[in-house]
């Protein structure tokens, strides 16, 4: 007998492989799937009635989760202006430099049942946040991570996974 694969057999194997890959992804804990480097793709405001508005379609930012449970983030508005003289910066220059800048690092946990990221801040650009814990609802897909900052309006920071 020849060892050939019929079209039907090939399709069956392909379907089985896709099903196995899908099941493996669904079965993999979010704590493992979140590991990676992401770029901030857009910022959305969502009102209590569900209306969404993209407030920043070209943001600048990165967030990284490693398998050891560490996280770092740096978000900066792209429209910030540079100081005219880097050697003699004014108070206004420093204020502009800090405007909208968000940065921190620490450790993280994933509460998959509640769809929450729990982030323990070791240090932050805002010293008042150092040593605190923040919780963010999240939505994780194969290509994106959306972190939801509560409020009215809520802020949805949509991150796209970068390749390894």
Q: How does pLDDT run across 2-44, given as a tens digit for each residue? A: 444 444 444 444 444 444 444 445 689 999 999 999 999 999 9
Q: How does pLDDT run across 88-111, given as a tens digit for each residue? A: 999 998 898 888 889 999 999 999
- What whole-number distance in Å separates Cα of residue 6 and Cα of residue 12? 10
Residue 17 lies inside a defined structural domain of this protein: no
Residue 6 lies inside a defined structural domain of this protein: no
Residue 142 lies inside a defined structural domain of this protein: yes
- What whole-number distance in Å separates Cα of residue 130 and Cα of residue 23? 39
| pTM for this predicted structure | 0.78
- What whole-number distance in Å separates Cα of residue 153 and Cα of residue 46? 5
The count of domains in the chain is 1
Domain span at residue 83 reads 29-161
Residue 38 lies inside a defined structural domain of this protein: yes
Predicted pLDDT at 20: 41
Q: How does pLDDT run across 38-90, given as a tens digit for each residue? A: 999 999 999 999 999 998 878 999 999 999 999 999 999 888 888 889 999 99
- What whole-number distance in Å separates Cα of residue 161 and Cα of residue 141? 9
CATH (domain of 146): 2.40.128.280
> Looking at the DSSP assignment, which residues form a beta bridge with residue 53?
45
> Looking at the DSSP assignment, which residues form a beta bridge with residue 98?
none
Contact 39, 159 (CB under 8 A): yes
Residue 9 lies inside a defined structural domain of this protein: no
């Amino acid at each position: 007998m020849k060892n050939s694969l019929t079209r039907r057999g090939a399709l069956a194997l392909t379907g089985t492989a896709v099903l196995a890959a899908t099941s493996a992804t669904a079965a993999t804990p979010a704590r493992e799937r979140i590991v990676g480097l992401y770029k901030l793709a857009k910022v959305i405001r969502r009102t209590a009635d569900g209306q969404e508005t993209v407030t920043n379609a070209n943001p600048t930012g990165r967030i990284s989760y490693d398998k050891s449970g560490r996280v770092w983030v740096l978000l900066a508005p792209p429209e910030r202006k540079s100081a005219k003289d880097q050697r003699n910066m004014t108070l206004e220059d420093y204020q502009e430099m800090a405007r909208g800048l968000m940065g921190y690092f620490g450790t993280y946990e994933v509460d998959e049942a509640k769809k929450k990221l729990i982030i323990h801040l070791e240090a932050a650009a805002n010293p008042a946040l150092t040593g605190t814990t923040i919780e963010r609802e999240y939505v994780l897909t194969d290509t994106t991570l959306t972190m939801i900052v509560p409020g009215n309006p809520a802020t949805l920071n949509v991150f796209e996974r970068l390749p390894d």
